[in-house]
Chain A
Amino acid sequence: EAGVAQSPRYKIIEKRQSVAFWCNPISGHATLYWYQQILGQGPKLLIQFQNNGVVDDSQLPKDRFSAERLKGVDSTLKIQPAKLEDSAVYLCASSRGGRNNQPQHFGDGTRLSIL
């Protein structure tokens, strides 16, 4: 089966600009996650969707970050305005949902650099 697809692979912007990332999960996966990974650290969950509803966004900086999954399939993550500390890799993951011991499968991420 095809894996989690993310685009773009790399993005460079200046601070205070806006940026958006796109994710297409594995077909049939109801649960979708966005993680932020700062260099040298493990990924940190930003937001989790179950179909098109938000399950957990407790660690999402809502003053500048937003995410949507309108039709319960693809998702976009947006940052507006970007700050220097947002430089990181943004990872999307998906799982079948339902029972919580289903493993998450990750895309290769979007590497964001803020100048």
Chain B
Amino acid sequence: DAKTTQPPSMDCAEGRAANLPCNHSTISGNEYVYWYRQIHSQGPQYIIHGLKNNETNEMASLIITEDRKSSTLILPHATLRDTAVYYCIVRDSETSGSRLTFGEGTQLTVNP
């Protein structure tokens, strides 16, 4: 699976949009971009995933660049409960039983 690069930490003001970047310059055509987050003492929580097109759900939006070498997770109105470690993961969709390979993620702190 392709490697991802994320900033180790970010801060965001409550109520503002949080934009979390991820670089995945070696991504291949059949690899999806997944985002998970992990709040302290809980298991990782699935947020969103995409292949080529931008995606939106009730939690967040995922913007993938046209060359697919980077993406941005957008939390439109961050709350204190969004404070967590956010993981960007590239996952092969065609290999049987493809695993999630977690990096170190970005620690997002939402400040009041």
Interface residues of chain A, those whose CB is within 8 Å of chain B, are 4, 31, 33, 41-45, 48, 50, 55-56, 91, 93, 99-101, 103-109
Across the interface, which residues of A come within 8 angstroms of B99, CB to CB?
33, 45, 48, 56
Instruction: Knowing A91-B43, A91-B44, A108-B41, say if A100 contacts B100 (CB, 8 Å).
Output: no
Task: Choose one: A4, A91, A93, A101; the contact of B32 (CB below 8 Å).
Answer: A101
Across the interface, which residues of B come within 8 angstroms of A48, CB to CB?
97, 99
Ordered by A's residue number, 20 sampled pairs between the chains whose C-beta atoms are within 8 Å are A33-B99, A42-B87, A43-B100, A43-B102, A45-B99, A50-B97, A55-B96, A55-B97, A93-B43, A100-B95, A100-B96, A101-B32, A101-B49, A101-B51, A101-B91, A105-B46, A106-B44, A106-B46, A107-B43, A109-B43
Count, A-B residue pairs, CB within 8 A:
57
A interface footprint on B30-48 (CB within 8 Å = 1, 0 otherwise): 0010100000011111100
